[in-house]
Amino acid sequence: MAVVDDASLIRESIGLLMPGLDVVAAVATVEELVRRAPAVDVVLLDLHLANLEQQPDARQGIAAIRTLTRHGYRVCVYSQEERRFVLAACLAAGASGIVSKALPRDRAEQLFLDVAAGGTVVPQPVVGILEVLVRRDCITLLSERQRQILHGRARGLSYAQVARELFVSESTLRGYWFDLTKSLSGSLRGLTPGEIERALGLAPGDLLEFWADPTEEADGADRKEWWRIGGRGGR
Amino acid sequence: MRIRSGLWRVAELPTTRAGVERAFSYFTAGVRLGTVAQMVPAVQLGAARASHEAGYLACWGAAALAAVAVSVVTLVRRRPPGTAVSVLDFGLACALLVLGPLVLAPWDRFGTWTAFQPGYALSVIITAGGVRGLGVWAASLLAVSLSYVVYLGGDVGSEMTSTAVGNVLTYVVYALVARMFFGYTRRIARDADASRARAAELARREEERRAQVMMHNGVAVMRLLTEQGDDVSRARLVGQAEVELRRMRSYLRGGDAYASEGEGPSAGLVPVVRRVCERFADLNVVASLDLGTGLRIPAAQAEALERALGSLLLNVRVHARAHEVVVHLDGTGEGGWTLTVHDDGVGFDPASVTAGVGLREVVVGELRRRGLAVGIVSAAGEGTTVTVRSRPGPEAAPPPEPALPTVRAAFADAP
């Protein structure tokens, strides 16, 4: 896997601290990774990459995710960003997983491996948003079983607890969740901010602060505005 | 005015055992002095017709004196005669009956207060109905009945036999009725005393529980304040301490911290839950509340829910060692809702762990009192899930199931 983080200490130490990961590239910018084009299963991406001293114009946030996915990479965001609409916007932009830097090391490592294996890691706040979108018929789930799993996971229940409630094995349930999150993320990418605003009861335009315009070109002239999340930083 | 005042005090006698005994003393004095009052008009005629005038007057005087003495003693002691006085009283009544044939002619021993002895004996029987010992009472009744037979002697004409039998039966029936009256009234007073004591004990326990509910979260916050040296965490705890301080002050002032169900304006459910979650931001609380947008609950429920949720999150902070807490709110239609609080901490075994004040009173007890169903599911190593649910209306509520003697069952009314 590859690591993109402007904090050198983090990008250099991940491979050492997480022995289960094979880090073949650790770079400070998305542009550098694209230039080197390593063959990896997943790219760990920090959301905030621009800094005034070293790389003021570095591509970051939604733009960074889009750039990487356009080049065929699976992206796992690794950030301390907590705002749920920002996290949801990352999934909508194509990220396959979002892992908080606040998680314990071994748990984060396991989630990276899940994404590398083709899974989708959805943080709990975004699971809550997805449940609302499903309940408001903004995203259609075909089976009752999928709804039941989402119901349990949205309440924070573990795989084992949901599996017991549904009388299936934990491994079976993990498989269901694997497929479900992939399906939900795909559905999320197909929604417009307006549709999400209506489903969540937000006022028109409330999501503009978080959601990038999908029609914008990633390399456009107003690149610095791609990350329109303002306010407090996520590091 | 004094009489009116005295009567008023009688009417105000307490319904306690002591009050009942006092009422019995009034009753006893009333009956005995009433008997004397009935004896007085007949004394002159009785003495004139008596076969032995001096003996008649001596008997009359003894009866009147005894009646007055018993009345005074009962009024002073504020209770009816005890066993010893009653035995003496019965003894005198029997003696007067036995001496009757010596002072009265046979034709004067019936039907008038000239022959005061049977009436006097009846007053003794009625007022001694409260004597404690059943044996003493029965023996005395038998003795009076036999004395009455002696009193009548062998001179009763056949036409008076039915009256004589009727008088004996009157003794027996009045004795039974009086004893039942004394016994039953004493039982009522005893039960009233016991009920008052139980009510007082329940009130004490309720006050103790209220104090526990009010103080629990504050104590937990203060404990954390003394244990955590980190300035950031202390600053966060100070905010919570201020909230708990306001609550405790309100309790001490006797304010509306315990508003009854339905009182006060309703409160938005989402803001209440969000407010508590924000106080515990350091626990990594994920609040998924969108599905409960627009729900409102009575102010008293909101107060209890806020306190219960605060207690739950304090428990997580102190005991759970959780990485994440998910607080999820879901509207279930027609104003119904379910709040789920799940932590991925160490959990506990409900079968072996005794619930503390926080879970037992602040969470389960208080929420149930406010009409909310509470369920707690936990297992060692699997975290804890607490579910709070608005109950359906009484017409739709299922019949309660018999409680099982486990902690899990006690906390399982919100599956």
Q: Residue B173: pLDDT above 90? A: yes
Could you give the CA distance from residue A28 to residue B247 in angstroms, rounded to a whole number?
Answer: 52
Q: For residue range A13-32, what is the model confidence (pLDDT) as tens digits?
A: 888 888 888 889 889 888 88
Q: Specify whether B90 is located in the same domain as B168.
A: yes
Among the three residues B197, B219, B254, which one is the final residue of a domain in this structure? B197
Helix axes of A124-135 and A170-189: crossing angle, nearest 10 degrees:
70
Q: Residue B127: pLDDT above 70? A: yes
All residues of chain A having their beta carbon less than 8 Å from the beta carbon of residue B286 are 124-125, 128, 156
Could you give the CA distance from residue A223 to residue B121 in angstroms, rounded to a whole number?
Answer: 118
Q: Is B398 inside a domain boundary?
A: yes
Q: Is B237 inside a domain boundary?
A: no
Percent above pLDDT 90 for chain B: 32
Q: Residue B196: pLDDT above 90? A: yes
Alpha helix locations (H) across B78-132?
Answer: 83-103, 116-127
Instruction: Read off the pLDDT band of B415 (50, 70, 90).
Output: very low
Q: For residue range A135-158, what is the model confidence (pLDDT) as tens digits?
A: 888 787 768 888 888 889 899 888
Q: For residue range B51-106, what is the model confidence (pLDDT) as tens digits?
A: 888 999 999 999 999 999 999 999 999 999 889 999 999 999 999 999 988 888 88
Contact flag B284-A102 (C-beta cutoff 8 Å): yes
Q: Which of B288, B325, B343 sits opposite A154 (nearest CB)?
A: B288
∠ Cα A5 A10 A11 (to 5°): 55
Indicate the CATH number for domain A1-121: 3.40.50.2300
Interchain contact A126–B (C-beta under 8 A): no
CATH of the domain at B306: 3.30.565.10
Q: Specify whether B18 is located in the same domain as B160.
A: yes
Q: For residue range B394-405, what is the model confidence (pLDDT) as tens digits?
A: 443 444 443 333
* pLDDT at site A225: 53
Of B138 and B161, the one with more pLDDT: B138
For residue B336, count CB atoms less than 10 angstroms from its CB and return exposed for 0-12, middle for 13-18, buried for 19 or more: middle
Q: Which of B57, B85, B92 is nearest to B70 (CA)?
A: B85
Could you give the CA distance from residue B352 to residue B195 in angstroms, rounded to a whole number?
Answer: 36
Question: Taking the mean position of all CA atoms in its chain, how far away is CA B315?
Answer: 37
Tell me how far apart the terminal alpha carbons of chain B are, to the nearest angstrom. Answer: 68
Residue-by-residue DSSP string for A80-124: ----HHHHHHHHHTT-SEEEETTS-HHHHHHHHHHHHTT--B--H
Q: Residue A229: pLDDT above 60? A: no
All residues of chain B having their beta carbon less than 8 Å from the beta carbon of residue A154 are 288, 326, 328
Q: Residue A221: pLDDT above 70? A: no
Among the three residues B197, B218, B240, which one is the final residue of a domain in this structure? B197
Instruction: Read off the pLDDT band of A231 (50, 70, 90).
Output: very low
Of A59 and B270, the one with more pLDDT: B270
Q: Residue B233: pLDDT above 60? A: yes
Q: Is B250 inside a domain boundary?
A: no
- pLDDT mean over B151-158: 69
The CATH number corresponding to A123-201 among 1.10.10, 1.20.58, 3.30.420, 1.20.120 equals: 1.10.10
Of A179 and B174, the one with more pLDDT: B174
Q: For residue range B239-270, what is the model confidence (pLDDT) as tens digits?
A: 778 877 877 777 777 655 444 444 556 888 89
CB neighbour burial string for A34-58, b if at least 16 within 10 angstroms, e if fewer: beeeeebbbbbbbbbbbeeeebeeb
* pLDDT at site B248: 78
Q: Specify whether B32 is located in the same domain as B118.
A: yes
All residues of chain B having their beta carbon less than 8 Å from the beta carbon of residue A160 are 382
Contact flag B344-A161 (C-beta cutoff 8 Å): no
Mutation to test the B interface, candidates A148, A157, A202, A232, most B Cβ within 10 Å: A157
Q: Specify whether B57 is located in the same domain as B179.
A: yes
Looking at the complex, report in whole angstroms how far the Cα of residue A219 sits from the nearest Cα belonging to chain B: 35
Residue B331: which domain range?
267-410
Q: Which of B293, B343, B383 sits opposite A201 (nearest CB)?
A: B293
**Range in A119-128, B27-36, B141-150, B229-238 the model is least confident about:** B229-238
Q: Specify whether B62 is located in the same domain as B171.
A: yes
* pLDDT at site B122: 94
Mutation to test the A interface, candidates B282, B284, B286, B385, most A Cβ within 10 Å: B286
* pLDDT at site B384: 87
